[in-house]
Chain A
Amino acid sequence: MLDKSRLSAVAELIRDHISLDSLDRYCAETGVCRQDFVVIDPSEFEGEIFAVDGSNVAVCSWSVANLNLIRAGYAVYRGRDWRRTVITYDDIFLADPRICAEQFDPYLEQIFGLKGIDLKESDLERLSTYFRELQEYIALDDATGEARPGDLILYDGSFDVFEPLRGALLTVFERAKEKDVALLAISKSSTLPWGEEISLPFVQHTSYAGSLMAPGVPWYLCLKDKKVDHGQGRWEGETYIVRFDGRSDHAFRVDAPSYLEDRIGSVLERLAAYSCSSECLGYPHALFRAHRDIRITDQEGGFLRLKLMEMLEEMGLGQSQVRILMQDFHDVLEMRPGI
């Protein structure tokens, strides 16, 4: 039974701690002050913007292993003009801890010159996420290969990544630096916390603080020396909070490799000039398009699942066997038709 008093206790907690009525505590505990909000002056540029994204849906699972459909790639823009979308990976992935390494290793070796991966400890759900991330780094690398000096490459996510794959990302950083291409990771949702007693959402509160301290304009804030755990030292770069358009309420976590540190302002100026589309005001438009072009729909997943079952039956497996193997018992409980 839902206890109303417990719910009202949570409501009080939100009122007292999470909603921010005065910036004093926020500033004191995080070390952020008015001067830290740097105004961005959007400036158009001639080069291209590449936006990398990936997508992953579970096709079916038999508890000890599961099958996923994974897609990765990037959208390319020149100014406001969409040029093309490149799909670098679009295939199934069988997540089984015992044989998984064999699917990672060839990519790690051939593309990033890295030796094998250790995944023994990982749980199933993670495996497919890692593989999707690996494919996203490959897309990043592919985009780097296509980019010209001065171009911008955006990644949907953070650069504070899973340890075994950090090596791959470092290689991409090196290649991008060499080519003089700017690399940025932009997170739609970020778990950055602040506060000493309970976990408070840092990005949201910074966004609020920004609307008061730098209202109506785009700005960025560097987290260097701020009292926020954003994986400092775990990867070679710096984290920023950015509002790309003054008319938007949203701010995003942006990660940049250290080679961009001294010119992050001009990179963000360029990006802000292309984060003002009607489709998705305040968010880099190329990422919006990449998300839409690369996402896998539920129908696609369902279609593949049906196709797989068809094949199994053609191979002589009886309906009941297929059901035992593939039906998720949750579907039974929910009375979903399933198979």
Chain B
Amino acid sequence: MKVAMDQEESQTRARASLADRKVIEKGDTTYRIVSKSVTEYHFIVPFDLSDEERVEVGQIFSIRDRGLTFLARVLDIQHSSNYDGHWDTAMKGTQFFDRDQIFNRVIAEPLGCVSKDGGFRKSRVLPTKFAPVARAEQAEFKFLKQVMGDIEIGSLRNGSRLVEEIPVALHSNAMDHHMGVFATTGMGKSNFMKVFAASCMRLACMGRSRFGLLIVDPHGEYLKGNGLVKGLTHLKRYREGLACYSTDQKNASDPGVEELAVSASEVRPEDIALLYEWSPPQRDALDAISRIFNSNHWLEEIQGTEGLDRMVLDGFKENTVKVLVRRIKNVLERNKYIQKRSSLANILANLQSGKVVLVDIPRMSDRSELFLLSVISRHILEEYKKEEQQERKNCLITIEEAQRVLGAGSNTSRFETIAREGRKFGVGLCAITQQPKLIDKQLLSQFNTLVVMGLGDRNDRMQLEESAKQDLSSLDIEIQTLEKGEAIISTLDIPFPVPARIHRYEDYLRRLDKEEKEEGLVSRGGFKPFLE
């Protein structure tokens, strides 16, 4: 074994080692991947960044590593340093010389990586140690344009910064897989629905609509808005894509708004059932109605003395039947739109042709709204269950305060049925709620598209995280800190939950009204909000 180097060899080595000095300079350590695994990336940043450069939870960073560009989203930021022990609480004086030794550690979750050809996929590899990290820019998000759908609802958001050039758009073909819109009150649910509806109206006018959208609005906010807040009828350019029905005489007198009517023959005992709490005997009586009466005339017949006799003959107590009848009369008294005439056929036709149908029922009570929604939904489901006719578009039924009907233990199986099997017939649900924690977990897991806005309640977030198709658990801090109009969109056709800022409806309106008729919004991209 030759251990010794000969003279010449060691001369050369010495010379080489002299030339081989390594210089470590400022900035060599920050903004570089330092650890840790395929599922979690760490890098450090200066602890005293300016407001402009501050790192936020939710921000997306890119890591350029030879042929690949990794994208990662910030989950948390921690104080850290190269010193051990309690140096920071046992300081002598405040004159720190080595500010580079104290830093913030950024913990980020990998979203995936973009290869040279622009394709995006989940990453199974780890970025090289010390690979440089930078705030992701527009160019790195380009691939997202290819996976976006046709219903524009907002722009991509990187932390709290807007990436205006990258529109966020949902997929029409995912809508029969149900959509959920979740936010604490005032965070922008109604605004979202209007933007969503506006995009649908636009598609309908351009003949590209894939589904009809039903909105039953008990607050009277969608039709004409309120003061500065605009309504759907303000979208003049695509007004053709909207059909309006109203129970309000004044609203119904507007051109293009039809007075809502539902024929008595279209009301079923189950619809009435929604309106009151019933005792078991009353419930039994209600259930028996469809057996005893002709389903088209029961409402009229049961109110007469003959009707009462038939019920009593069937074994029900007179008192029970009288309560039933009194309540039915009450319903008819309160819901004046129950007439001979009916708008339902018309509503259905509009939905099937892919329009947005707005049913405006201002000042209507909670239960009356449910009653009406129940009547219409049943009608829709029955129609859609029939053999598919040519050219029929799918249908998406919006339910506000959806926890009322999709809650664990609620007695409204109709909507649960739609949630479970509506898909087969092309009927989807758009459930809007402030309290996802009250929605049945199993039903929630049927929702393929989630629009999650600010949710302060931990249990609400847990419920969503546990039943979402995409993993949202790491986004907990971000969801908690979302501001008005900010959202996380999780939908199957987009590879990771996308942070978005929903357009402000009034801004979106002005832009839609201005655009060239045939110009594709999504493909054109780039939407600058108008400044007030």
Contact = CB atoms under 8 A, between A and B. Distances in A.
B82 to A, nearest CB: 7
Interface stretch (A81-89, A120-128, A189-197): A81-89
A90 B21 CA distance: 9
A103 B21 contact: no
B129 to A, nearest CB: 15
B94 interface: yes
A293 B82 CA distance: 11
A276 B7 CA distance: 48
A105 to B, nearest CB: 8
Contacts of B87: 279
A2 B95 CA distance: 48
Contact of A278 (B10, B18, B93, B100): B93
Contacts of A224: none
Interface in A42-88: 65, 73, 77, 80-88
Interface stretch (A94-102, A157-165, A235-243, A301-309): A94-102
Interface on chain A toward B: helix, strand, loop, or mixed SS?
mixed
B95 A110 contact: no
B92 A281 contact: yes
B54 interface: no
A41 interface: no
Contact of A99 (B3, B91, B97): B3
Contacts of A276: 93, 95
Contacts of A83: 25-26
A102 B25 contact: no
B22 interface: yes
A4 to B, nearest CB: 35
Given A82-B26, A86-B23, A277 B97 contact: yes
**Size band of the A side of the interface?**
35 or more
Given A106-B14, A110-B14, A90 B95 contact: no
B24 interface: yes
B253 to A, nearest CB: 76
B306 interface: no
Interface residues of B, number: 31
A90 B25 contact: no
B139 interface: no
A84 B23 contact: yes
A334 B82 CA distance: 32
A292 B87 CA distance: 15
A106 B11 contact: yes
Nearest to A276: B95
Contacts of A281: 92-93
Interface hub of B3, B11, B97 (most chain A Cβ within 10 A): B97
A130 interface: no
Given A80-B95, A278-B93, A278-B96, A87 B3 contact: no
Interface string A138-155: 100010000000000000
A63 B412 CA distance: 86
B92 A278 contact: yes
A259 interface: no
Given A86-B23, A111-B18, A102 B10 contact: yes
A110 B18 contact: yes
Contact of B17 (A85, A89, A102, A105): A89
B24 A84 contact: yes
B23 A82 contact: no
A91 interface: yes
B524 to A, nearest CB: 49
A102 B7 contact: yes
A73 B17 CA distance: 12
B24 A293 contact: yes
Given A85-B24, A88-B21, A292 B93 contact: no
Contacts of B26: 82-84
Given A89-B17, A96-B3, A279 B97 contact: yes
B51 interface: no
Given A82-B97, A278-B94, A106 B21 contact: no
A274 B87 CA distance: 19
Nearest to B24: A85
Nearest to A65: B3
Contact of B3 (A80, A89, A94): A94
Contacts of A285: 97-98
A291 interface: no
B22 A90 contact: yes
A82 B100 contact: yes
Given A82-B98, A102-B7, A107 B14 contact: yes
A234 interface: no
Contacts of B291: none
Given A82-B26, A277-B98, A279-B96, 4 more contacts: A88-B18, A106-B10, A106-B13, A107-B14
Interface of A: 65, 73, 77, 80-91, 94, 96, 98-99, 102-103, 105-107, 110-111, 138, 142, 247, 274, 276-279, 281, 285, 289, 292-293
22 contacts: A65-B3, A77-B97, A80-B95, A84-B25, A86-B21, A87-B23, A94-B3, A96-B3, A102-B4, A103-B5, A103-B10, A105-B10, A106-B14, A110-B18, A247-B93, A276-B93, A277-B96, A278-B92, A279-B98, A285-B97, A292-B82, A293-B24
